[in-house]
Amino acid sequence: MEKITTTGSIIYVLWLRQLKRYARSRARVIGSLGQPLLFLVALGFGFGPVYQKAGGGNYIEFLAPGVIAMGVLFTAMFAGIEIIWDRQFGFLKEMLVAPVSRLTIVIGRTLGGATVATLQGCIVLLLSLVIGFHITHMGSMFLGLLFMFLVAVLFTAFGTAVASMLEDMQGFQLIMNFLVMPTFFLSGALFPIDTAPQFLKLIAAFNPLSYGVDGLRAAFGAGGHFGIPLDLLVLSLATLFLLAVGSYLFSKIEI
């Protein structure tokens, strides 16, 4: 019982550390809203009339869930990549030499990063509501939060896996350009998968973020492509897989 309590306390401390770092960095909070706001305003109002004339309806209603997922994605990735900063400033070494299992460290950091990313997604959701997005079924908010959290855990674990293989921040831009950005743009966040070319449909089908975006759309009443049960199943399996991979790679980090 004491061991369980100790493990839970360690997870809680690491979770709380992530939240405190987020809350204390107002520049980070405000700066991370710039890109989602730009997408909502520039794309939402810029391409809205074209999208509506093409028979797609209100583009803001279609776009907002994708932009919310984007806010969660980038925040979660940064939370995972923070391992590199901890390594450079010596905090990671202090954690690794402590009599704590590395799995416990991964769980605490991942839950903290996922919570921060989910909060960021909620802020983007509020911005979307101000701009003109409507939630048709307020009772489905909990389902939307579940999808946000799953996406957050998934990409925090992915960020942890990537950061465990990097020695410094020099490779971070490579990861952003060749992994994170394509993951977002090819997820159907900005375009309907139903009317996309076949090769884009195939890519979207293998992209885990596609199921997060689709689940958010379905939860908020903006339509869906795969269906909520499949969205939940794929996201859950992908999250478990990346948690396992991230934990394994983190366990191989040398002090």
* pLDDT, tens only, 132-174: 888 877 767 888 999 999 999 999 998 888 888 877 667 767 7
Look at residues 43, 54, 64 and name the one whose alpha carbon lies nearest to residue 222. 64
First to last CA, the chain: 30
* Backbone CA torsion sign across 98, 110, 23, 92: positive
Lowest mean pLDDT among 100-109, 132-141, 231-240: 132-141
Q: Would you state the pLDDT for residue 1? A: 42
Q: Is the pLDDT of residue 2 over 80?
A: no
Q: Label residue 255 by pLDDT band (50, 70, 90).
A: low
Contacts of 250 (CB under 8 A, 6+ apart): 83, 102, 105, 106, 160, 161, 164
Model confidence, pTM: 0.89
Q: Would you state the pLDDT for residue 5? A: 52
Q: What is the mean pLDDT of residues 214-230?
A: 86
Residues in the chain: 255
* pLDDT, tens only, 236-250: 999 999 999 888 888
Q: Is the pLDDT of residue 123 over 80?
A: yes
CA neighbours within 13 Å on the CB side: how many for 150? 26
Tell me the CA distances in angstroms from 14 to 10, 18, 55, 185, 197, one per residue in order: 6, 7, 48, 32, 44
Percentage of residues of the chain with pLDDT beyond 90:
21
- Alpha-carbon dihedral 131, 48, 213, 114, rounded to 10 degrees: -30
Amino acid at 243: L
Look at residues 143, 65, 154 and name the one whose alpha carbon lies nearest to residue 113. 154
d(CA 22, CA 128): 21
* pLDDT, tens only, 29-80: 777 777 888 888 888 888 777 777 766 678 888 888 999 999 999 888 888 7
